Amino acid sequence: MNRNFFCQRGDAIFIFILYSFYAMGILGHLFDKTYPHMMTLTPFVLLVFGLAVLLRTTGCDRKLLIWCLAAYILTFTIEAIGVYSGVVFGEYYYGTTLGIKLFRVPLVIGFNWVIVVLGAITIAKKFSSNKQFTALLAASFTVVFDIPLEVVAVNLNYWQWTPGFVPIQNYIAWFVVAFVVALSFGYLRFETKGKVIIHYFFIQFIFFILIDIMIFTNML
């Protein structure tokens, strides 16, 4: 397949596909016959759409892709330390929904960290050109993103909290990790391309909020 298919800046059709697919995903969670398939597809959807979004957002720039790989390794390592020790995010463990694990952590987790933080950075840069303030904004947006995600994660068995609740420590850790990753992005003077990553950030955020509503109203 032509490399430019994923790297080109004509994003309208791709954005439409993202919204349509996630809308179908929300409906798929409502019905008993399709719900198990939604659980099975979760890691594949995160990987396939995330990779396509990443390639469009980076413009296939090698240096930026290397940064993404470094961010993946960093966040995955932090997650592994967190799962084994409980000192980073709190006491938690991953369920089966997010797929294949290494060191008790789903392989897709570091990848989703990169996507979420990159989306938060791109949004933050709309409000500020200052590297430090942009990193603070991006970290804040990432924590806000995590709030509805936590409800979905526990109910759909992405992960479980051993104490039975989400500790404040988790949100502090999310902020610190996202801040460090965002700050490195700023100091290396990278730029994202197009608006796909912004749309994908909001698509996932809205998806989690709608699933939360379904959970709280006993529709799920």
Measured CA to CA, the distance from residue 210 to residue 144 in angstroms comes to: 15
The mean of the pLDDT values for the chain is 92
What number is the average pLDDT over the span 42-56?
92
Lowest model confidence (mean pLDDT) among 2-16, 70-84, 172-186: 2-16
Percent of the chain at pLDDT > 70 equals: 95
* Band of residue 4 on the pLDDT scale cut at 50, 70, 90: low
- Reported as a single tens digit per residue, the pLDDT across 24-37 is 999 999 988 999 99
* Band of residue 11 on the pLDDT scale cut at 50, 70, 90: confident
User: What is the full DSSP assignment across 165-182?
Assistant: S--HHHHHHHHHHHHHHH
Q: How many beta carbons lie within 10 A of that of residue 36, not counting itself? A: 10
pLDDT of amino acid 193: 86
Nearest to 177 by CA among 89, 92, 51: 89
- Reported as a single tens digit per residue, the pLDDT across 81-140 is 999 999 999 999 999 999 999 999 999 999 999 999 999 999 999 999 899 999 999 999
pLDDT of amino acid 6: 52
Cα pseudo-dihedral 164, 29, 146, 142, rounded to 10:
170
* Band of residue 58 on the pLDDT scale cut at 50, 70, 90: confident
pTM score, two decimals? 0.91
Whether 204 shows a pLDDT value over 60: the answer reads yes
- The residues spanned by each domain of the chain are 10-216
Whether 8 shows a pLDDT value over 80: the answer reads no
Q: At what angle do helices 131-155 and 196-216 cross, to 10 degrees?
A: 40
